[in-house]
């Protein structure tokens, strides 16, 4: 028994082939991806994030896609603005967990993965730039861990 006979209201498919050009090998053409700008907001105070997100969005959208890299745990600010974001733990958190996590290697590899994932055409830094952040993670390895209160 054919499935078509079980569904009485199903439309019958027209089995005729649609003529196509020899050069046209795709049924659907992909829309070209928007160029991506990565915006680092590392070490930026939480009360400034909303203004930075809105100002940067006005400047670059709709021609560009924006991805924010933050060390702030205030994710609601990014979500309320409809912003795409990635998170790096702040230096204090890195020091708290220094004994169990090789932060310099992790952050360097994670940064490389983010660049490969998003392929930004520009990287804009508010606050500390990514090179300074990675260098600070490296220097924090030599310091004693901060104890939680």
* Nearest in space to 42 (alpha carbons), one of 13, 8, 73, 15: 73
- In the chain, the number of structural domains is 1
CATH number where 74 lies: 3.40.50.2000
Is residue 20 situated within a structural domain? no
* Nearest in space to 136 (alpha carbons), one of 84, 75, 95, 76: 95
Compute the distance between CA of residue 47 and CA of residue 92 in angstroms, rounded to an integer: 19
Is residue 117 situated within a structural domain? yes
pTM of the model: 0.74
Is residue 67 situated within a structural domain? yes
Is residue 76 situated within a structural domain? yes
Is residue 9 situated within a structural domain? no
Give tens-digit pLDDT for 128-142.
Answer: 999 999 999 877 666
Q: What is the pairing mode between strands 36-42 and 65-70?
A: parallel
Could you tell me how many residues make up the chain? 149
Give residue 107's domain range. 36-140
Give tens-digit pLDDT for 57-93.
Answer: 999 999 999 999 999 999 999 999 999 999 999 999 9
Is residue 113 situated within a structural domain? yes
Q: Point out the least confidently predicted range of 11-25, 70-84, 105-119, 133-147.
A: 11-25
Is residue 27 situated within a structural domain? no
């Amino acid at each position: 028994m054919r499935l078509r006979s079980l569904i009485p209201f199903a439309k019958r498919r027209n089995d005729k082939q649609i003529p196509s050009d020899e050069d046209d090998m795709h049924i659907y053409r992909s829309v070209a991806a928007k160029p991506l700008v990565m915006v680092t907001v590392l070490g930026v105070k939480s009360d400034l994030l909303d203004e930075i997100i809105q100002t940067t969005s006005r400047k670059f959208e709709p021609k560009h896609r924006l991805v924010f890299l933050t060390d702030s745990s205030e994710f609601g600010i990014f979500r309320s603005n409809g912003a795409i974001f990635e998170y790096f733990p702040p230096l204090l958190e890195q020091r708290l967990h220094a004994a169990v996590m090789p932060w310099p290697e992790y952050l360097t590899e994670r940064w490389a993965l983010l660049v490969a994932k998003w392929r930004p055409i520009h990287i804009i830094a508010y606050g500390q730039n990514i090179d300074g952040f990675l260098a600070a993670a490296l220097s924090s390895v030599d310091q004693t861990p901060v104890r939680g209160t």
